[in-house]
Copies of this chain bind each other. A is one copy, B any other.
């Protein structure tokens, strides 16, 4: 691994870039050509100093006294996120959630392409979901290789998630989005992002309880 100037972007900043991109897209849709750190920050739900600091890690895109060009800033952020090249993904586990994710329309317009759907159940394999045939998970390695899948969305039951993840990694995938309620054990060079609906609700419950305890006083 070589040290790169681009690699100096902090993780917390990377996590916010999608918000900025979304806000910029909205502004573009509204026909706004120019924006400011405070307007963009407001729409992204962060502070303006934070936004400027975040952008400073990518470079210097604004004009002092004026602001940012909406379109060109969006292009810079897209480039920083690696959204120039197409990313081909497979969804594994076509249950309720897998269905919903397959039908999610936000992929293609943003450089993501659903290249494969995989499931273990004979009832589902062979059917079409969102215009794509569901393949048997037994053929996982082959499908991933042949269709040049580089990212996998895991929507399987928790019990089998670790095993599937191992196959997926063995097939060469290095980016996984995990919806299963399991802490996946993967090699260091594999990036896993987990979305846990149950966990999010529990965090909200904590705040509800804290509020109740405070109000009692």
Residues of A within 8 A of B (CB): 1-2, 4, 6-7, 9, 14-15, 17-19, 21-23, 43-45, 80-83, 85, 87, 89, 96-97, 99-101, 103-104, 106-107, 110-112, 150-151, 174-177, 181-185, 189, 191, 193, 195-214, 216-217
Docked-complex contact B2 and A214, CB < 8 angstroms? yes
Task: Please give, as numbers and ranges, the residues of chain B lying within 8 Å of A81 by CB-CB distance.
Answer: 202-203, 205-206, 209
**Residue in chain B with minimal CB distance to A78:** B202
Docked-complex contact B208 and A150, CB < 8 angstroms? yes
Contact among B6, B97, B107 for A210, CB-based, below 8 A: B6
Docked-complex contact A203 and B97, CB < 8 angstroms? no
In the bound complex, how far is the Cα of B112 from the Cα of A81, in angstroms? Answer: 36
**Residue in chain B with minimal CB distance to A214:** B1
15 contacts between A and B (CB under 8 A): A2-B214, A2-B217, A4-B213, A7-B213, A7-B214, A18-B198, A18-B199, A22-B183, A81-B209, A87-B205, A96-B103, A97-B104, A101-B197, A106-B181, A193-B203
> SS class of chain A's interface: helix, strand, loop or mixed?
helix
Docked-complex contact B197 and A106, CB < 8 angstroms? yes
Task: Please give, as numbers and ranges, the residues of chain B lying within 8 Å of A80 by CB-CB distance.
Answer: 206
Docked-complex contact A203 and B18, CB < 8 angstroms? yes
Task: Please give, as numbers and ranges, the residues of chain B lying within 8 Å of A14 by CB-CB distance.
Answer: 203, 206
In the bound complex, how far is the Cα of B199 from the Cα of A19, in angstroms? Answer: 7
Task: Please give, as numbers and ranges, the residues of chain B lying within 8 Å of A208 by CB-CB distance.
Answer: 82, 87, 150-151, 174-175
Separation in Å of the A59 CB from the closest CB of chain B? 15
Q: Which 9 A-B pairs have the closest CB atoms?
A: A82-B209, A45-B183, A18-B199, A2-B217, A100-B100, A96-B100, A175-B204, A191-B207, A82-B205
